[in-house]
Amino acid sequence: MTERSGLIRCRSCRTINRIPAQRIWDRPKCGKCKSFLSFPAGPVEITNANFPAEIADWPGNALVFFWAPWCGHCPGVMIQVKDIARERAGMLKVGLINVEQERMLAGRFGVLSVPKLILFRGGAIVDEINGAVGKGDLDAWLGHF
């Protein structure tokens, strides 16, 4: 994915479409089935079942937030992550993984404490942050990618 385009998966035929950034808000259509494309305006709940389709096989950038209901810092970071998802809709896929419900994924990615953020590109880990982070720091970190 380039800086000037976003990726959107068609809900009808599941084809991944590359959309120029300036056209993201113009109700683009799928190149294959011609259905109107839409993208989540917020984070996607990630489970062991949908991880391959949503993150591992995603060709663009994906930010995954590992959190737990008992974590004191997670609600504050969750607000920042939801803001990022809304601000970068269509340009950055954002996923949420509840480590209490998805212990296999937490183990797979070595999550020993929460909050934890992992940035993927093309399904591979690019970088990660352990611990709470503010919106400015999160924006600066994502700006490097």
Residues 41-82 have pLDDT tens digits of: 799 999 999 999 999 998 889 999 999 999 999 999 999 999
CA dist 91 to 9, 31, 52, 70, Å?
Answer: 12, 18, 19, 31
Q: How high does pLDDT run on average in the chain?
A: 92
* pLDDT given for residue 2 in this prediction: 44
71 is catalytic: yes
- CATH number of 40-143: 3.30.70.270, 3.30.1950.10, 3.40.50.300, 3.40.30.10? 3.40.30.10
Report the SS3 class of residue 29: strand
User: What pTM did the predictor assign?
Assistant: 0.84
> CA–CA separation, 136 vs 141, rounded Å?
9
74 is catalytic: yes
Q: Does domain 1-39 have CATH number 2.60.120.200?
A: no
Instruction: Please answer whether residues 29 and 8 qualify as being in contact, where contact means their C-beta atoms are separated by less than 8 angstroms.
Output: no
Task: Please list the alpha-helical segments (H only) found in the chain.
Answer: 51, 74-87, 103-108, 135-143
